[in-house]
């Protein structure tokens, strides 16, 4: 197989967040790496581009998700700190040039996904996923 570990797959925003997402206020911060030898944290650098990495948290608006699955982190590769489009509370956002990397979390042995983007913009009004069909109450 020609895929190496840590491969970044290009994905469309609307495929990752079909119902959209909102930015959790106050969560944009520079990502940090922890050095186990020194016990210190240092600013993260992207392993491929060597650029700065910022991280924010968003709430997925998919109505079928459980409460524990709604909030996810998105890493943004940018030299300066990204700024929300309008600086509103829980504002809708979209991410540009998204990639996803699958990995297995060591502690839980579960498959997880790391989301990355090159920027954050105001939503452009893509079509959201249709509402789920009502279930018969038979």
pTM value is 0.81
Contacts of 17 (CB under 8 A, 6+ apart): 58, 60, 61, 62
**Domain presence at residue 136:** no
**Domain presence at residue 134:** no
Residue 130: both structure tokens together? 């249709």
**Domain presence at residue 129:** no
pLDDT in tens, 46-65: 988 999 999 999 999 998 88
Domain extent at residue 59: 9-121
DSSP annotation of 15 reads H
For position 100, which CATH number holds? 2.40.50
**Domain presence at residue 130:** no
Contact 10, 99 (CB under 8 A): yes
32, 42, 45 from 23: Cα distances, Å = 20, 25, 23
**Domain presence at residue 117:** yes
23, 65, 88 from 132: Cα distances, Å = 24, 12, 29
**Domain presence at residue 90:** yes
Q: Cα separation of 115 and 72, whole Å?
A: 9
Confidence at 128, pLDDT banded by 50, 70, 90: very low
DSSP annotation of 45 reads B
Q: Taking 50 as the threshold, does the pLDDT of residue 129 lie above it? A: no
pLDDT in tens, 25-51: 999 999 999 888 888 999 999 988 999
CB atoms closer than 10 angstroms to residue 117 = 24
Q: What are phi and psi of 117, to 5 degrees?
A: -150, 165
**Domain presence at residue 93:** yes
């Amino acid at each position: 197989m020609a895929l190496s570990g840590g491969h970044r797959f290009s994905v469309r925003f609307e495929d990752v967040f079909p119902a959209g997402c909102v930015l959790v206020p106050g969560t944009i911060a520079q990502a940090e790496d922890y050095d186990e030898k020194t016990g210190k944290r240092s600013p993260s650098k992207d392993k491929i581009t060597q650029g700065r990495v910022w991280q924010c948290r968003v709430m997925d608006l998919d109505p079928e998700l459980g409460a524990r699955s709604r909030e996810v982190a998105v890493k943004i590769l940018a030299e300066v700190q990204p700024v929300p489009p309008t600086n509103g509370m829980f504002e809708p956002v979209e991410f540009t040039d998204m990639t996803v990397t699958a990995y297995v979390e060591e502690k839980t042995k579960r498959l997880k996904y790391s989301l990355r983007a090159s920027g954050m913009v105001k939503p452009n009004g893509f079509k959201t996923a249709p509402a789920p069909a009502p279930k018969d109450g038979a």
